[in-house]
Structure 1
Amino acid sequence: MAPPALIADLLAFLADNNPSGEAFDRQALALFAHQFQHNLPFQRFCQQRGKTLRTVRSWRDIPAVPISAFKALTLSCIPPDQAERVFMTSGTTQAEVKGKHHHPSLAVYDASMICNFGQRFMAGGGRIRMGILFPDEILLPNSSLAHYLALAVREFGTDASHCLLTQQGLDTARVIVELERAQQTGEPYALLGASYSFVHLLDELQRLGKTFHLPPGSRVLDTGGFKGQSRELSMTEFYAQLSGTLGISTDQCINMYGMTELSTQFYDDGNSTPPSVKSGPHWIRTRVVEPLSGEELPRGQQGILAHCDLANFNSVTTILTEDVGIAVDGGFLLLGRAQGSAAKGCSLAVEEFLQAAAA
C-alpha cells in the first residue's frame, strides 16, 4: 500500500490553488525518491541515465519513461494485486498487448479529475444534464475513460443524466429525444464521449436529416482520437460538423487530451480555430523534447510531448508520449502522432528503457 502520508501530502498539493514552482519541485522530488526506491524497472533506467537521488534536483531532471513501456512491464510501486483499480489501454485489435496502470487508491486520480474538470469544462457552473457517448464502468471496468465519465456524471451531472451508448450500440432514438427536449425547454445540455462516437452520431443524424439548436450553456466534450472505429475528419471539419448539427458554437466544443498512463487530463478553451492550446492544472507540467536524448527543445520547435504528472504517484511521474507538439504561451499545441524520424526516435527510446530495465 502506498504510504498514507505521501497520499495526504499529494492531495494537499492538488488542493493548493497557487503553489510556487519550488513547491512543485519539492513534490516531484519526493515522488521521484519514492518511485526510485520501489519501482525497480524505473530505478534501473534512471541509473543507466545517471539520474539518482543525488543528481536529480528538479522535475526537469526526472527521466521520461516511454509510454509503450506500460505494455511491456509492470510499472508500479506496490504489488499489482494490491491495486484498488487497474486501468488498461483500449487497444484496437484482440491481439494487441494492453498497457496497465495500477492505482493503489483512486483518491488522487478522482481528486485530480474532479478539480480540473470543474474548473475547465464546467467553468465553475452548476450541474448540467449530461448524455454520455461511451460505455459505462459496468461494461468497461478497466477503462480510465469510463471511470472519468462516471465521475463527471456523479459530480457535475443532474439526476437525469444518462448513458447513450449501450451493448447494442448508439441509442439514436434516445439522443434525439434528449436533444429535442433541450431545444424545447431551454435547459442546457452536455454531450460527452469519445470522438469516434460523435462521428457515428453525426453520420446517423445526417442520415435522418436531423439538426438542432441547443440552448445557451450547452456544450460538448470530446476525448480525441478516432482509433479506426469511425471515419476520420480533420479537426476543423469535425468541430464545424458538431457546431452545425447541434447548433452550438465551436467555442463550446471542448477537447480533452488524456491517456490511461496519466492521472491528469488537459483541456482547451474551445475549437473555433484548431489546433487549440491545451493546458493542464498546476500539478502537471509539459516539455517538448527530442525523444531519444530527452533534451528539451526550444519554444516553437516541434518535438515529442513529455508530461510530468504529480498525480501519477504509484507508477512514474514523467511520461514520454508518442504525440507531436509545440510549446506556446499558455500551454502547447497537439499536432498528432509521431511519424517518420520522430516515431523512430520514440521506438528507440522504448528499446533503451526495456534494455535498462532488464539489466
Structure 2
Amino acid sequence: MMDLTAWHALAPYALDHSAKHAMLTRGLLELTAHHATQCEPYRRMLEAQGFRPEAVHSPADIPFLPVRLFKQLDLRSVTQEDVVKTMTSSGTSGQTPSRIFLDRSTAANQTKALTRIVSAVTGAQRMPMIVVDSPSVIKDRALFSARGAGILGFSIFGRDRIFALDDNMQLDVDMVAQFLNKHVGSPVFIFGFTFMVWQYLYKALVSSGRQLDLGQAILVHGGGWKTLVNESVSSTVFRERLQAVCGISRVHDYYGMVEQTGSIYIECEHGHLHASVYSDIIVRRHVDFSVADVGESGLIEVVSVLPGSYPGHALLTEDEGMVLGEDDCPCGRMGKYFKVHGRIKSAELRGCSDTYAAGPNEAPRELSNGY
C-alpha cells in the first residue's frame, strides 16, 4: 500500500505544475502497479490495453476506467476481511449504485485529505454547524444514503450541530434564529446539498417573508445542479439570491464523487473549482479521448492518490467540463482550476441533490460514510 505521508505534509494547494506533475505521475504509477498485483480483473484490463509502465510520462498516460464500471463489477485490491466500509453511490431506486470497498488505511487517508482540503476554506477551528436537511436523513436507516453520509462526513468541521428542517422538510426559522443568537459574533458553518439549500432554505425564506442574518456564515454545498439549471439558476444567481435573502457571502460549491471519496474539488472565492495536491482533473475530447486544451470542453477524468483499496485512481466520469487554467487563479492557489458543465445527456441522474429532487422517497442504498 502506498505511503501518503509526503502528501499529507503538504499544504493542499502548494504544488505548481512542475512539482505536482512529477509527484502525481510517480504516485499514480505506484498505485497502478499495486492494483495490478492485488486486483485480478484490473490486471486483465491493463493487459488488454497493452499497458506498459515505461510509456507513462504524465498522469494522463495512466489507463482510466469508466466510472460506471463500479456499478457492474466489485473491484477491490484488498481481501474481503480487510474491508471496513462499503460505500455506495447516490441513485434513485431501480438504478444500480457503485460499490466502493475501503480498508482502514484508505478510509483514514480519505478523512485526512478531506480535512486538509475543506479546512483551507473553513479554517482549522470547528464552528457551530447548521445542516440544511432533516434529522431523519441520518436517523432513519431506510433513508440513510449519500445525503446522510455527506452530512456525517462534513460534521467533523462543525460543533453543536442542528438541523434546519423538521421531519416534514419545513424550515424551522425560529430555531435557526435562536441558534444564531446563541452563537452571535461567531462564524457559523452551514452544510447542505445544492438543491436542498435552494428549495428548503432560500425558497422557504422568500415565501415566508422572513430573513435570517447569515452574514457570519460559511456555506459549503454540493451535489447535482440539474434541477436548478432547469430553473435557470446558475451558480452566480444562486449566490446572489442567497446573499439578498440572508446576507451570506462566503459560499463554496464542491465537486466530488463516492468513487474517489476524499478527493473533493472545492470552490474558491472567485467561483473556481480547484484540484488539490491529492488529485487532478484531466479533460478529454469525446471523439478520441485525447487531452483537451485549456478552455476546451470535454469529458472530465479524475485522478487521485487516495484509492489504495480499490483501482479507482484514474476514472473517466460522465460529467462535462473544462480546465480554466493552472497556477494562475486570482485566489493564489496552485494547481488546475476548472468548471463543470453538467452530466452528459445519456448519463443517469445520480448527484445527491438531483436524486432527492427526483423524489424524496427514492432513497439510495445504504452508504456507510462519505459525501
For residue 294 of structure 1, what is the aligned residue in structure 2? 289
Q: Distance in 1 between matches of 2:210 and 2:198?
A: 14
Scaled by the length of structure 2, what TM-score is found? 0.77
Contact 1:127 1:157 in 2 (8 A): yes
Contact 1:258 1:265 in 2 (8 A): yes
Q: For residues 291 and 78 of structure 1, do their structure 2 counterparts lie closer, same or farther at Cα, with a shift above 3 Å needed? A: farther
Matched, 1:200 2:195: no
How far the C-alpha of 1:132 sits from its partner, in A, is: 1.4
Scaled by the length of structure 1, what TM-score is found? 0.80
For residue 26 of structure 1, what is the aligned residue in structure 2? 26
Q: For residues 137 and 99 of structure 1, do their structure 2 counterparts lie closer, same or farther at Cα, with a shift above 3 Å needed? A: farther
Provide Cα deviations, 1:200-232, integer angstroms capped at 9, x if missing partner.
Answer: 21222222211223233x121111315669974
Alignment-mate amino acid for residue 13 of structure 1: W
For residue 36 of structure 2, what is the aligned residue in structure 1? 36
Provide Cα deviations, 1:293-325, integer angstroms capped at 9, x if missing partner.
Answer: 431012211111111111122222011011111
Larger deviation, residues 61-70 vs 221-230: 221-230
Higher relative contact order (CA 8 A, sep 6+): 2
Give matches, 1:122-141, under 5 Å: 122=122, 124-134=123-133, 135-136=137-138, 139=141
Q: Distance in 1 between matches of 2:168 and 2:196?
A: 10
How far the C-alpha of 1:143 sits from its partner, in A, is: 4.3
Q: For residues 99 and 280 of structure 1, do their structure 2 counterparts lie closer, same or farther at Cα, with a shift above 3 Å needed? A: same
How far the C-alpha of 1:32 sits from its partner, in A, is: 0.9
Alignment-mate amino acid for residue 328 of structure 1: L
For residue 343 of structure 2, what is the aligned residue in structure 1? 337
For residue 221 of structure 1, what is the aligned residue in structure 2? 220
Give matches, 1:230-241, under 5 Å: 232-235=231-234, 236-241=236-241
Contact 1:87 1:143 in 2 (8 A): no
Give 3-state SS (helix, strand or coil) of 1:329's partner.
Answer: strand
Give 3-state SS (helix, strand or coil) of 1:282's partner.
Answer: coil
**Paired residue for 2:259, among 252, 258, 261?**
261
For residue 277 of structure 2, what is the aligned residue in structure 1? 282
For residue 313 of structure 2, what is the aligned residue in structure 1? 317
Q: Distance in 2 between matches of 1:291 and 1:47?
A: 24
Q: Distance in 1 between matches of 2:50 and 2:73?
A: 21
Contact 1:192 1:222 in 2 (8 A): yes
For residue 350 of structure 1, what is the aligned residue in structure 2? none
Matched, 1:328 2:324: yes
**Paired residue for 1:16, among 10, 14, 17?**
10
Q: For residues 229 and 24 of structure 1, do their structure 2 counterparts lie closer, same or farther at Cα, with a shift above 3 Å needed? A: closer
Q: Over aligned residue pairs, what C-alpha RMSD do you find? A: 2.8
How far the C-alpha of 1:13 sits from its partner, in A, is: 2.2
How far the C-alpha of 1:138 sits from its partner, in A, is: 6.7
Where does structure 1 differ by over 6 angstroms across 4 or more consecutive aligned residues? none
Matched, 1:117 2:118: yes
Give 3-state SS (helix, strand or coil) of 2:55's partner.
Answer: coil
For residue 99 of structure 1, what is the aligned residue in structure 2? 98
Matched, 1:69 2:74: no
Unaligned ranges ≥5, structure 2: 327-336, 348-371
Q: Distance in 1 between matches of 2:221 and 2:227?
A: 16
How far the C-alpha of 1:98 sits from its partner, in A, is: 0.8
Provide Cα deviations, 1:216-251, integer angstroms capped at 9, x if missing partner.
Answer: 3x12111131566997452233222222222122xx
Alignment-mate amino acid for residue 40 of structure 1: E
Alignment-mate amino acid for residue 300 of structure 1: G
Alignment-mate amino acid for residue 28 of structure 2: A
For residue 357 of structure 1, what is the aligned residue in structure 2? none
Provide Cα deviations, 1:42-89, integer angstroms capped at 9, x if missing partner.
Answer: 222222222133433432211111111111111211244531111111
Alignment-mate amino acid for residue 116 of structure 2: C
Unaligned ranges ≥5, structure 1: 344-359
Contact 1:11 1:108 in 2 (8 A): no
Give the number of equivalent residue pairs: 321
For residue 177 of structure 1, what is the aligned residue in structure 2? 175
Q: Distance in 1 between matches of 2:26 and 2:151?
A: 31
Q: For residues 308 and 164 of structure 1, do their structure 2 counterparts lie closer, same or farther at Cα, with a shift above 3 Å needed? A: same
For residue 211 of structure 2, what is the aligned residue in structure 1? 211
For residue 369 of structure 2, what is the aligned residue in structure 1? none
Alignment-mate amino acid for residue 151 of structure 2: L
